[in-house]
Every structure is written in structure tokens, then in C-alpha cells.
């Protein structure tokens, strides 16, 4: 079995168990276990099968067994846990993946060294609390550290402990005590605890274990900044993944439901979920940067170099102030400055605008260790110490500033520092100066926006950590070995535990609003429909559901909700316009015209309404009336050149050939296309200017790149109009052949 098949079978069996298809699940699990090299899985399945057979036998024997329900849940739990173990066993035996090779090596190592984990922690700290816990469990750490050749540094110890916690399937009590000692220690620094939380999260997402869940909850409840936010994210991810499974563990369920009593838990969950959705938008942001902004900046490179005076850039004056000419540089491309400002605002709001820039800077040896993708950026890190020691430029202040910055994730901060080693000293000073200025600027913006309150800091930590996770799942060389959490739907509106923990319904509403704002109309409408079932009639809700359906092209459903909104406010121009739009797309043009006329009364100078009345009148073949509306739009907005096209076409259809020719010539001067050329040719022909018609048709054929079939398809669509204006059918056929042979 390959990786995909193993994951698929594991998921199918889990679903069978959770859907109470126990006998089918047992049969499938037997087959699943037969693919492993170990026999004891089948023995365990037989025991579970016997227990379930007893439940079946006693259920209908007339004997009331008060423990039956508990035993049934025990069977479900046992099947799920065994299914997990078989999956991990198969992946270790057959996948050939790097992480499972690591896992196999770790398991072999731990078979011979039962106190390995304690040796690792001994290298992190010797605090009395931890020492007492280990002593109570008869773990001797008094051996001389010099004898321990395996651990060479604190950083190495952290890496080994991370891998141990990440790759261990089920935590025993003794591992749990170690994690607790780290959690509650006052001497182990926040960045080490944060790394342990990441190991717990990855481990829990890999394989379910109540002890891992409890450990994350404990780290969360300690409230230590930087640590509890990471634990919260791990909890949210695990709650989503194991939503149907948690209620099989009553003790764990009680612990989780206590979260509902935490102050601001609704705001915290909302911050995590919104940031997850923002992270899922990263590819769109990256694409925009690479396709819109970067090419514009590359075009302007010579001018930028000239205006920035790069030859004299290292003056003290430059380092004190930002270049006053920077904004002027963009006068040749005004739209570019707007786009860059958009990106700055998006960055402050938590959008991942740096992914494109830093995705190419994850090749350093530092990122060969999985733990380093999750290591919080801190100046005490041994890798940063090495960089500072080697550099001629004093990086100490810069690193301290970078550590405090909330506008770049930890992973990118390491990339930035590691990349400094590759840059010449002169450029390095310039970059650091520019970066320091930019960071000061961002801090000023944050102050202006009142972002430096406590909850804003919490949101920034959540943002940074989720961006770290995003880089790991998207950029790690072995990313295909992990289940990408950013591909999950996160349809939390259907989650039992989110609904139990989050009692403030505004959280779900805010998620729907975010999805709507970011054009995920299919997901937004699902949530809005759920909200609809729990709230009283709400005009705004009906409008938004209608709008989502409209953008999805489901105009009949959209019309239903716009009509509901209309009942609550029949004089609202926006609703009336939307109803008219849906009716037009549903080809109910008479009704659409009635609604557009209503909208016109409410807003007589609205060009949108005027134009769409014209469009609808065209569909009803009321061309003279439509022309009046288009002329009105042209008069009120003379710079709108697009209105000239329907005026030209109607002029041709209604026999006003001079007018048609005049307008088509205007169009061709600015925005020529092959269809305009065909219609201009028609207008010349109907005006008896046959030679001009032929020349224009030839130009149209050129625009079709000589494809006469496509030219002909467009040409024949207008035969009725040509014959109406006196052109004979035989002449039409001859003209087509004449054009095709030239």
C-alpha cells in the first residue's frame, strides 16, 4: 500500500467507527492490519471483536446491562486507537518518508535508553522543580555531563526533545510529568516552551492522544505570553480535526468545555480562525505581488536608482530619515503606489505579504531541522549568536529590534538574518538602515491605528505563528509527507465543539463576513444560511445571502432572498437594482424593466440604472427607447467611451447608418475589436459604400487571424438586420465567399 492508500483506508475505517458501523469497521480493520509485518494487531482486533459480540448477545437477551453504553464507547475508542497505530506502523514500514525513518530510529533508540527524554531535559535546565519530579520517579540525572557525548549544546537538546515529543505516538504518565514540569517551570524560557508546544501540536495532529490534548490545554491555561497563543492554535486545529471523536473521552471533553468559561475565548477563537482564512489567501496575495506589483517595480528600476542616488546612499542623513523622493518616484506609475499602500495595510491587518519574498530563502542548513521552522526568533539563539560574532557590522541592536517586531513571522526573521551573511558589508549597512526605518514607520502606523493594546499583540503573535506554520506546510522540502492543514475547509459552523465553546454567535457571523469580503461566496452563504435559522428576519442577512447566490450565478436563489429583503424595505434602491439584475439574467426582461424603472424614480441621475435600462430595452428590442437612455449616459459621462459601442450598434440596427459609422470610427480610434469592424462593415454596406465595407470586412478577418469560420459565425448572426435594410440574401452569400477568397 502506498501513502495515499494508507491514509484513505485509515480515514474510511475511522468514519465507519464514528458512524457506528462497528462490524464493518472490524472487518476492514482486519484487512488493514494484514498489510503490516506485525501479528499482534490481529490479536487485539480479535479481543475487541469478542467484546462487541458480547454486547450484541446481551443486548437482546432481556438482561439490562447498565455498563453497556460505556463498553460500546470503549469498543469505539479501541478501534480508533488501533486504527491509528496500524496506520503509523504501515507508514513506518512502507512509506520510505524521511519523518518515518526518523521515527523508526527514535523508537529503536528508546528501546535501549528508557531515560533518554530526561537526559534531554537535563540539558535544558537544572531547576529544582524539575529535579524533584525526576527524583520522585527514580530518574537519576547525577551522571557527569561530560560522559554524555550525544548532546553537544542546549540547541541540540531542544531539537532532540522536539523530535522525541513529535514522533512519540502515545505519551505515558512519565512523559506527561516531563511536559508538565516544562509547562509550569519558571526557569525554562518562553521560547523553549513555545517550541515544545509546537512539537505537541504536530504530534497530536499526526496521531490522537488525550494526554497531548491535555498538555496543550495546560500550556494554554498558564497564560504565559507567546506560549498560550501557540497552544490555543494547536487546540483549535485539534478540535477541528477530532471534532467527532472527542466525545468518546468524557474526561477530555470536560476539560475542553471549560474553555467556554474563559474570558474573551470567543475573541481568541475568532482571531485564530480569521487568521487561518487569511493564511489560505496567501497564494492569491503572492500571485498579485508577482504579477502586478513586482513587474511594475522592475520597469521603474532605472528611475528608482536615479532618484535614490545609490552612489551617496550611505550618508548619515539617509540613515536618519526616509528618502523624501520615494513617493515622487511613483508619479510615473500612480497605481503602483496605491498597490504598495494596500499591501502595507494588508500587512498590518495580518495578511501574509512576505511569503513571496522569503519563500526563496529557506535553503539555509538552519531549515534542515524541522524544529527550526517553529523556533521563535530570539537573540539568545545559538545560530543568531554565531551570525553576530562573525559579522563586521554590529548586528546586536538590529537583532533586538527584529525580535520585537510583529510585522514579520519568526521563520522569515531567521531567513533575513541568515541571508545577511551573503550580502557585502556596504549593502548590508544600507539594508539594515532601510529596514530599521521601515520598522519605525510600521510602529508609528500601529500607534496611529491604536494597535498596541494587549489583544492586538495577541493577534500579532497568532498571526506570526500561523505564518510560521504556513511556511512549514508549503515550503518544507518534505512537505508532501505532512497533511497540509491549510487545505482543510475549516467549516467550523458544523463543528459540535466550536458551537459548545463559542456561545457568542457574532464570531460565526464575523467569519461569514470575512469570507464574503474575500469572495468565498460558497462558504459564506453556508454560514449565512445557518445564521438565518437562528435569527429573526434581518434585511442585511437576506441581502448578503442573495448577493452570495448572485455571485455564484444562482440567480433564482438570489432573487428569492432579494425579494425577502424587499418585503422589509420596498424603497431601497440597492435591493431593487439587484432584483432587476437577477430578472435580466433569468431572461424575465419585462419584469426587470419594471424594477429598473422603480430604481430610476428613486435615483434618476444614476448612470448604472440608466445604462441597464438601456440593456434591458435592447433585449426587448425597443431600440429607439434604449438609444435615448444611452445618449443620456453619454451626456452625463462624456469620458465613458464604453457607452459608444451600444449607441453605434443600435444606430446600425435602426438604420441610422451615418451615426453608426461615426460612433464606430470613434471606437476604432481607441479600442478596436473584430466585432466592431464587422458591424462597421455592415453599416458601410447598408449605406451603399460597398468598397469601404469590403476593406473593413478584410480587416475584421485579419483580427480573427485569418480564421474564416470564426469570422463567418459572427457575420451570419446579423443576416436578419442586413436583409431588413435591403441587402439581398444572394449578395450576402457572395460577399462571404468574396471575402474568404481574398
pLDDT in tens, 270-316: 999 999 998 887 776 555 445 554 454 344 333 333 333 323 323 33
User: CA-CA distance, 452 to 426, in Å (whole number)?
Assistant: 34
Provide the pLDDT for residue 115: 58
Please report the sign of the dihedral spanned by the C-alpha atoms of residue 292, residue 295, residue 297, residue 303: negative
Highest mean pLDDT among 569-573, 638-642, 709-713: 709-713
Q: What is the mean pLDDT of residues 94-105?
A: 89
Least-confidence region, from 67-81, 303-317, 490-504: 303-317
Provide the pLDDT for residue 359: 78
Site of grid cell 551617496: 312
Provide the pLDDT for residue 428: 64
> HEC profile for 653-664?
HCCCHHHHHHHH
Q: Is the pLDDT of residue 488 over 90?
A: yes
Provide the pLDDT for residue 450: 53
Highest mean pLDDT among 20-29, 136-145, 657-666: 20-29
> HEC profile for 238-284?
HHHHCCCCHHHCHHHHHHHHHHHHCCCHHHHHHHHHHHHHHHHCHHH
Residue 30 vs residue 672, higher pLDDT: 30
pLDDT bin (cut points 50, 70, 90) of residue 323 is: very low
Provide the pLDDT for residue 188: 87
Is-contact 72 53, C-beta < 8 A? no
Distance of CA 76 to the CA centre of its chain: 34
User: CA-CA distance, 156 to 151, in Å (whole number)?
Assistant: 6
Q: Is the pLDDT of residue 318 over 60?
A: no
Domains and CATH numbers, the chain: 3-94 (no CATH), 98-249+256-279 (no CATH), 282-465 (no CATH), 659-742 (1.25.40)
Q: What is the mean pLDDT of residues 399-418?
A: 85
Helices (H), 330-409: 334-348, 355-358, 382-390, 396-404
pLDDT bin (cut points 50, 70, 90) of residue 382 is: confident
Q: Is the pLDDT of residue 527 over 80?
A: yes
Provide the pLDDT for residue 442: 60
Provide the pLDDT for residue 247: 95
Provide the pLDDT for residue 159: 86
Residue 683 vs residue 380, higher pLDDT: 683
Is-contact 470 486, C-beta < 8 A? yes
The rounded mean pLDDT for the chain is 82
pLDDT in tens, 207-251: 999 999 999 999 999 999 999 999 999 999 999 999 999 999 999
Burial class (CB in 10 A: 0-12, 13-18, 19+), 394: exposed
pLDDT in tens, 107-160: 887 766 555 555 555 555 544 544 454 455 444 444 444 443 333 467 777 888
Provide the pLDDT for residue 434: 63
Closest by CA to 362, choosing from 233, 478, 483, is 478
Provide the pLDDT for residue 158: 83
Is-contact 612 596, C-beta < 8 A? yes
Provide the pLDDT for residue 203: 97
Q: What is the mean pLDDT of residues 6-15?
A: 96
Please report the sign of the dihedral spanned by the C-alpha atoms of residue 688, residue 690, residue 696, residue 698: positive
Is-contact 352 287, C-beta < 8 A? no
DSSP states of 392-455: SS--HHHHHHHHH-SSS-HHHHHHHHHHHTTS-HHHHHHHHHHHHHHHHHHHHHHHHTT--SHH
Q: What is the mean pLDDT of residues 498-523?
A: 90
**Could you tell me what percent of the chain has a pLDDT over 70?**
79
User: Grid coordinates representing 469?
Assistant: 506554520
Residue 148 vs residue 380, higher pLDDT: 380
Closest by CA to 293, choosing from 350, 357, 349, 348, is 357
Highest mean pLDDT among 173-177, 216-220, 331-335: 216-220
Provide the pLDDT for residue 153: 66
Angle formed at CA 477 by CA 476 and CA 483, multiple of 5 degrees: 60
pLDDT in tens, 578-626: 999 999 999 999 999 999 999 999 888 888 899 889 989 988 999 999 9
Provide the pLDDT for residue 324: 34
Provide the pLDDT for residue 742: 60
Helices (H), 476-604: 496-501, 506-517, 521-532, 539-551, 555-568, 573-585, 589-602
Amino acid at each position: 500500500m502506498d501513502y495515499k492508500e494508507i491514509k484513505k483506508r485509515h480515514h474510511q475505517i475511522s468514519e465507519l467507527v464514528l458512524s457506528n458501523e462497528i462490524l464493518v469497521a472490524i472487518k476492514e480493520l482486519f484487512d488493514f492490519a494484514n498489510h503490516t509485518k506485525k501479528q499482534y494487531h490481529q490479536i487485539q482486533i480479535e479481543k475487541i471483536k469478542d467484546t462487541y459480540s458480547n454486547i450484541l448477545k446481551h443486548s437482546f437477551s432481556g438482561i439490562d446491562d447498565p455498563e453497556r453504553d460505556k463498553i460500546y464507547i470503549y469498543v469505539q475508542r479501541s478501534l480508533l486507537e488501533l486504527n491509528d497505530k496500524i496506520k503509523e506502523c504501515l507508514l513506518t514500514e512502507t512509506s520510505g518518508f524521511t519523518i518515518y525513518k526518523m521515527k523508526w530510529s527514535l523508537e529503536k533508540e528508546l528501546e535501549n535508553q528508557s531515560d533518554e527524554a530526561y537526559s534531554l531535559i537535563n540539558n535544558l535546565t537544572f531547576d529544582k522543580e524539575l529535579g524533584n519530579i525526576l527524583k520522585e520517579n527514580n530518574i537519576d540525572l547525577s551522571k557527569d555531563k561530560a560522559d554524555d557525548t550525544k548532546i553537544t549544546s542546549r540547541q541540540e537538546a531542544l531539537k532532540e526533545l522536539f523530535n522525541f515529543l513529535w514522533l512519540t505516538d502515545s505519551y505515558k504518565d512519565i512523559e506527561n510529568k516531563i511536559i508538565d514540569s516544562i509547562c509550569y517551570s519558571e526557569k525554562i524560557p518562553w521560547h523553549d516552551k513555545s517550541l515544545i508546544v509546537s512539537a505537541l501540536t504536530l504530534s497530536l495532529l499526526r496521531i490522537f492522544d488525550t494526554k497531548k490534548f491535555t498538555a496543550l490545554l495546560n500550556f494554554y491555561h498558564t497564560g504565559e505570553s507567546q506560549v498560550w497563543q501557540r497552544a490555543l492554535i494547536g487546540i483549535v486545529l485539534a478540535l477541528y480535526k477530532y471534532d467527532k471523536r472527542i466525545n468518546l473521552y468524557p474526561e477530555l471533553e470536560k476539560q475542553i468545555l471549560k474553555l467556554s468559561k474563559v474570558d474573551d475565548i470567543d475573541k481568541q477563537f475568532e482571531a485564530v480562525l480569521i487568521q487561518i482564512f487569511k493564511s489560505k489567501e496567501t497564494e492569491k496575495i503572492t500571485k498579485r505581488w508577482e504579477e502586478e506589483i513586482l513587474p511594475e517595480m522592475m520597469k521603474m528600476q532605472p528611475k528608482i536608482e536615479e532618484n535614490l542616488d545609490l552612489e551617496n546612499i550611505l550618508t548619515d542623513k539617509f540613515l536618519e530619515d526616509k528618502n523624501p523622493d520615494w513617493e515622487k518616484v511613483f508619479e510615473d506609475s500612480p497605481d503602483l503606489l496605491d498597490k504598495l499602500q494596500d499591501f502595507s495595510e494588508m500587512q498590518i491587518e495580518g495578511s501574509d505579504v512576505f511569503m513571496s519574498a522569503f519563500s526563496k530563502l529557506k535553503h539555509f542548513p538552519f531549515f534542515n531541522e524541522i524544529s527550526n521552522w517553529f523556533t521563535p526568533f530570539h537573540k539568545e539563539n545559538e545560530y543568531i549568536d554565531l551570525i553576530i560574532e562573525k559579522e563586521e557590522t554590529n548586528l546586536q541592536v538590529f537583532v533586538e529590534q527584529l525580535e520585537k517586531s510583529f510585522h514579520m513571522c519568526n521563520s522569515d526573521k531567521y531567513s533575513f538574518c541568515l541571508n545577511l551573511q551573503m550580502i557585502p558589508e556596504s549593502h548590508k549597512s544600507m539594508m539594515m538602515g532601510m529596514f530599521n526605518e521601515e520598522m519605525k514607520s510600521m510602529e508609528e502606523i500601529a500607534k496611529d491605528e491604536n494597535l498596541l493594546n494587549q489583544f492586538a499583540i495577541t493577534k500579532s503573535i497568532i498571526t506570526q505563528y500561523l505564518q510560521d506554520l504556513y511556511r512549514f506546510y508549503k515550503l518544507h522540502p518534505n512537505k508532501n509527507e505532512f497533511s497540509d492543514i491549510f487545505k482543510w475547509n475549516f467549516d467550523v459552523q458544523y463543528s459540535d465543539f466550536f458551537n459548545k465553546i463559542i456561545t457568542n454567535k457574532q464570531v460565526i457571523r464575523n467569519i461569514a463576513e470575512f469570507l464574503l469580503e474575500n469572495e468565498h461566496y460558497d462558504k459564506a452563504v453556508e454560514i449565512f444560511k445557518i445564521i438565518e435559522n437562528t435569527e429573526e428576519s434581518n434585511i442585511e442577512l437576506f441581502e448578503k445571502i442573495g448577493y452570495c447566490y448572485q455571485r455564484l450565478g444562482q440567480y433564482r436563489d438570489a432573487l428569492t432572498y432579494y425579494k425577502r429583503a424587499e418585503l422589509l424595505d420596498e424603497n431601497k434602491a440597492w435591493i431593487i437594482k439587484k432584483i432587476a439584475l437577477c430578472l435580466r439574467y433569468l431572461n424575465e426582461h419585462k419584469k426587470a424593466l419594471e424594477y429598473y424603472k422603480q430604481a430610476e424614480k428613486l435615483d434618476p441621475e444614476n448612470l448604472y440604472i440608466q445604462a441597464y435600462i438601456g440593456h434591458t430595452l435592447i433585449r426587448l428590442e425597443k431600440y429607439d427607447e434604449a438609444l435615448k437612455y444611452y445618449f443620456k449616459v453619454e451626456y452625463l459621462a462624456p469620458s465613458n467611451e464604453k457607452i459608444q459601442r451600444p449607441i453605434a450598434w443600435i444606430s446600425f440596427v435602426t438604420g441610422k447608418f451615418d451615426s453608426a459609422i461615426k460612433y464606430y470610427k470613434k471606437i476604432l480610434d481607441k479600442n478596436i475589436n473584430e466585432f466592431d469592424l464587422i458591424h462597421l462593415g455592415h453599416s458601410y454596406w447598408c449605406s451603399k459604400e460597398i468598397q469601404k465595407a469590403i476593406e473593413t470586412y478584410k480587416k475584421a478577418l485579419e483580427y480573427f487571424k485569418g480564421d474564416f469560420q470564426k469570422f463567418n459565425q459572427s457575420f451570419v448572426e446579423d443576416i436578419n438586420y442586413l436583409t431588413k435594410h435591403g441587402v439581398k440574401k444572394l449578395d450576402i452569400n457572395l460577399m462571404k465567399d468574396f471575402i474568404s477568397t481574398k
